[in-house]
Amino acid sequence: MSMENRSLVTIDDLSNQEIMSVFSLADEMSDSIMEQSSLCQGKIMASLFFEPSTRTRLSFEAAMHRLGGSVISVAEMQNTSLAKGESIADMARVVGSYADIIVIRHPWEGAAKVVADYAGVPVINAGDGGHEHPTQTLCDLYTIKKERQTLDGLKIALWGDLKYGRTIHSLAYALARFGATIHFRPGSGLGLPEHVTRKLIRDYGGILERFNNIEGAEKENIFPLDAIYVTPSEPHQLTNIPDVNIQIELEKGIDALYVTRLQKERLESPVTGSELEKGYPVVNRKLLKGKQFKRTLVMHPLPRVDELAYEIDADPRSMYFKQAAWGLPIRMALIALLLGAKQVGVSEKKGLTITPKIDYPVYDRDSGVTCKNKKCVSAQQTEMRYIKPMFKIVANKPLILRCIYCDHETQPPYIASSKWHSGILEKRRYYSSDSYILERIKSEYLIIFDSEKEAQAEGYKPSEYAHISVKKQ
């Protein structure tokens, strides 16, 4: 099977089976790094890093060199025409005419998707703001697979900055697809964004449990804690809430403890970094004495600051430098696959596989709603000129839209139907989005507004259901 010309923007661009195939090829690459030097000869990779990077950028560039290809790169936005107000779509078109593959890191959420939409060559997301970082997830999963021989049904703890940590978001989605139980322990005010939690529930069939007042928890330094369980047998039903005793669960041990640094560069004022540092989880020798961590892999995407003590570096459970080192064969495998220099085997993936729900109707009318996430690529001045806001309609009761660029959700207040007025201006009416009228409008005729002002500007008048929530009895 060929993966030629595909892009990797979100971890869900790869199926579980494809992830396994990337891993088999990475095994092959790491056993024979010096023999790969003609695989991508003559090919050029553009490496566009508009945020700081050490591991990701250097491992991508080293990977391309090891494959015999060459690299052109930009590491400062100030040195490109983006600083002159050029859109990233224009940049993508141009770079796509010089290079065979593009790797991009950018502070705006959804930027990699825009580049992939316009470049005409495969694009790899090396981190788009606080959204996703799928190739780090490949390194993380590969490390776990190497150490544990399986990715199925693991118990993983994600600690630290779960709000802004893009590696956390991609990893949580992938773990859910392998049927993991994921425990979250955020720094204060740094919990998993609601839209990520809801996606884990809605798309992956996760079941959320909140454990707040567990006896002895504070003392053991493991709470507050939320957990998401994924039940492979019934991926999209929220029935069968498992009968969980968190203490018994923890005693059985955690397979991996993944901690991240506070992503200071993404904090929104007025919250200061030092306030958030108070009570931020720290992984150190003392913590690892706990019996639940006896066989735990200690993981971190790096760079670390204070959340991961240097004293545990020599501990055999510490995996973070291995995670970084696996970046080379993983990225070699990925580049070779996307350039069509290698094909993936067709071996069946055995074991647990949750196929995420992706077939939501898409809302992409010109008029109407915009993404409310200020960091979304679709909300930027330079990009608004051409990006049409697009959303997946992920729920109807209430109406919830998910931005296709950044995944943030919005609950728009007003709706109308393009069919009911049959083009007659007088008949144009808008309704409250939580009135039962919503159920009567087919998604292809649905028009959604952010405000009454907008609805009126489009020539719609308030209906009798515009201001009251009328629920069907």
Footprint on this chain of ligand NCD (rule: CB under 6 A): 55-56, 127, 133, 136, 166-167, 260-261, 263, 301-303
Residue nearest to ligand NCD (CB): 301
For ligand NCD, the closer of residues 53 and 343 by Cβ is 53
For ligand NCD, the closer of residues 259 and 403 by Cβ is 259
The distance of closest approach from Cβ of residue 444 to ligand NCD in the complex, given in angstroms and rounded to an integer, is 38
Residues 100, 341 contacting (CB under 8 angstroms):
no
For ligand NCD, the closer of residues 29 and 103 by Cβ is 103
The distance of closest approach from Cβ of residue 301 to ligand NCD in the complex, given in angstroms and rounded to an integer, is 4
For ligand NCD, the closer of residues 126 and 227 by Cβ is 126
For ligand NCD, the closer of residues 328 and 415 by Cβ is 328
The distance of closest approach from Cβ of residue 80 to ligand NCD in the complex, given in angstroms and rounded to an integer, is 20
The distance of closest approach from Cβ of residue 338 to ligand NCD in the complex, given in angstroms and rounded to an integer, is 19
The distance of closest approach from Cβ of residue 12 to ligand NCD in the complex, given in angstroms and rounded to an integer, is 18
AA identity, residue 414? Y
The distance of closest approach from Cβ of residue 323 to ligand NCD in the complex, given in angstroms and rounded to an integer, is 8
The distance of closest approach from Cβ of residue 319 to ligand NCD in the complex, given in angstroms and rounded to an integer, is 13
The distance of closest approach from Cβ of residue 105 to ligand NCD in the complex, given in angstroms and rounded to an integer, is 7
The distance of closest approach from Cβ of residue 8 to ligand NCD in the complex, given in angstroms and rounded to an integer, is 14
For ligand NCD, the closer of residues 58 and 208 by Cβ is 58
- Of the candidates 215, 195, 15, 213, the one whose C-alpha atom is nearest the C-alpha of residue 109 is 195
